[in-house]
Amino acid sequence: MHKLYAENILIGSDWQTEVTLTIDYGIIKQINKGREEGAIALNGAVIPGMSNCHSHAFQRAFAGFSEYRGNSEDSFWSWRDIMYKFVAKMTPEDAHIVAKFVYIEMLKAGYTSVGEFHYLHHQADGTMYDDPAEMSHQVIQAAFDVGISITHLPVLYTYAGFGEKKPSKEQARFIHSTQDYLDLVNQLEKSYSNRSNFQLGIAPHSLRAVSKEQLKDIVPFIRQTNPKAPIHIHIAEQLKEVDDCLSFYKERPVEWLLNNFQMDEHWCLIHATHLTEEEIKNTAESGAVVGICPLTEANLGDGIFPTVEFSKLGGKFAIGSDSHIGINVAEELRLLEYAQRLTSHQRAVLVDENCPSVGQTLYTKTCKDGAISLNQNAGKIATGKNADFLVLDDNEPSLFSKKESFILDASIFACNQLPVKDVYVAGEKVIENGQHRLQEKAKNQYREVLKKLA
């Protein structure tokens, strides 16, 4: 058991002063007024750690390799071709090194948990590794090594398009039959279910990559294993996907999902960019979380999620760094708000009736909904929650003279990235003065992997 003292701390949605946190086995046991004996001071404003609801760790390795115009019209689909070429050479050891490096970057940015939407499963020709969970072990171990909480979301990917289209040879590393996939989920459940800082969910890749029958098999399966296990799916990211879904199912992707499954807050719809008013309303009512990835969606030219409309209806949403073109909490939230300003010609758009601060509204909401989307006992500083929090750098000029509700506005809108000084995950200090104990070694290993892959 240990005690930490904060002069200025965001508890739930209220800023409080002079508070002692008592932490036991990674959980906040007590929050008391005043400085208790033996409490170590946290020097700077304290805010909850952010959940990164959507990551493909391996994609960090080719961020910056696809920002040039090729022969044809560049789009999500041409980006994907470059990604496939890059991934062909990646070994399990490489995947571990890349994941370790990117998870350190996440911690330094202020993410304390990550949802790893994991689809790089097999050898380059599609043959399973001797241990079919080899690639999962590598990314999970990377998270354990660096101290970020992980929700592992093994992906079911079977087809190349609607109507059970045969996958290409570039997709061989991703492909499972339903039975092989369920075996993998079972194996992971057995291996890790008693580990702290770990949650397991499932991720049918998208409606184009799995059939209706497969969804009808895997959703009840995971619900039986764990009623709260997250189910994540890419959906309605691209207009072509919406058109293909309309031709095949005669319904739009989100509409189809709502009509065929009982969605709730344990579902996370990744992107859900292209929605009708009806879909916005029904998704908000279902309780499902939308996983918005503003930087990646901008980078890939996906479109803009209707955040204002969705939020007004009480919809839940989280942020994810997806392709890792940037790992920057402030930039994701800033872009989320700025996209709405640019299209509505207004300022200070994403606010709540109870909180006029855009920064605080966006931060507390995405923290809370992000933790829900990952089934992590986190998302706010409160008794009974994991002791996951950030200490902000009071030497950051944009925070000078900023009191309470201005702290998050300044941190998100007036700093290039969140001014994170220290990071605690389950009560353990994993970032100190902006540094991680493994960062130099991780960077050197990452450099060697890049030399090989590029």
Which C-beta is closer to Zn ion: that of 322 or that of 422?
A: 322
CB of residue 59 to Zn ion, shortest distance in Å: 8
Which C-beta is closer to Zn ion: that of 116 or that of 322?
A: 322
Which C-beta is closer to Zn ion: that of 255 or that of 322?
A: 322
Specify the pairing of strand 389-392 against strand 420-425.
Answer: antiparallel
Contact status, residue 426 vs residue 388, Cβ threshold 8 Å: yes
Structure tokens of 431? Answer: 């970032």
Specify the pairing of strand 389-392 against strand 46-48.
Answer: antiparallel
Which C-beta is closer to Zn ion: that of 252 or that of 271?
A: 271
CB of residue 445 to Zn ion, shortest distance in Å: 25
Name residue 389's beta-bridge partners. Answer: 48, 424
Amino acid at 175: I
- Describe the crossing of helices 358-373 and 329-344 by its angle, rounded to 10 degrees: 120
d(CA 200, CA 269): 17
Burial letters for 49-75: b for 16+ Cβ neighbours within 10 Å, e otherwise?
Answer: bbbbbbbbbbbbbbbeebeeeeeeebe
Nearest residue to Zn ion, using CB?
A: 322
CB of residue 391 to Zn ion, shortest distance in Å: 31
Which C-beta is closer to Zn ion: that of 5 or that of 181?
A: 181
Task: Tabulate helix, strand, coil % of the chain (nearest 5).
Answer: 40, 20, 35
CB of residue 348 to Zn ion, shortest distance in Å: 30
Distance from CA of residue 421 to its chain's centroid? 21
Structure tokens of 253? Answer: 């992707």
CB of residue 415 to Zn ion, shortest distance in Å: 27
Note if 322 is an active site residue. Answer: yes
Amino acid at 182: L
CB of residue 409 to Zn ion, shortest distance in Å: 29
The label of the residue with tokens 């959507």 reads 54
Catalytic residue among 121, 205, 266, 271: 271
Number of residues that bind Zn ion (CB under 5 A): 1
The three-class DSSP label of residue 310 is helix
Q: First vs last Cα of the chain: how many Å apart?
A: 47
User: What is the x/- site pattern for Zn ion, positions 105-144, by CB under 5 A?
Assistant: ----------------------------------------
Contact status, residue 103 vs residue 142, Cβ threshold 8 Å: yes
Phi (first) and psi of residue 352, to 5 degrees: -110, 155
CB of residue 320 to Zn ion, shortest distance in Å: 8
d(CA 135, CA 121): 6
Which C-beta is closer to Zn ion: that of 136 or that of 364?
A: 136
Phi (first) and psi of residue 164, to 5 degrees: 55, 45
Which C-beta is closer to Zn ion: that of 293 or that of 381?
A: 293
Angstrom CA distances, 290 to 236, 302, 427, stand at 11, 15, 28
Q: How many CB atoms lie within 10 A of CB 30?
A: 13
Which C-beta is closer to Zn ion: that of 322 or that of 396?
A: 322
CB of residue 397 to Zn ion, shortest distance in Å: 35
Q: Which of residues 293-352 bind Zn ion (CB under 5 A)?
A: 322
Note if 205 is an active site residue. Answer: no
CB of residue 322 to Zn ion, shortest distance in Å: 5
Q: How many CB atoms lie within 10 A of CB 266?
A: 21
Catalytic residue among 302, 322, 393, 409: 322
Specify the pairing of strand 289-292 against strand 27-33.
Answer: unpaired
The three-class DSSP label of residue 267 is strand
Contact status, residue 362 vs residue 356, Cβ threshold 8 Å: no
Which C-beta is closer to Zn ion: that of 319 or that of 423?
A: 319
* Binding positions for Zn ion, rule: CB under 5 A: 322
Residues with a catalytic annotation lie at 271, 322
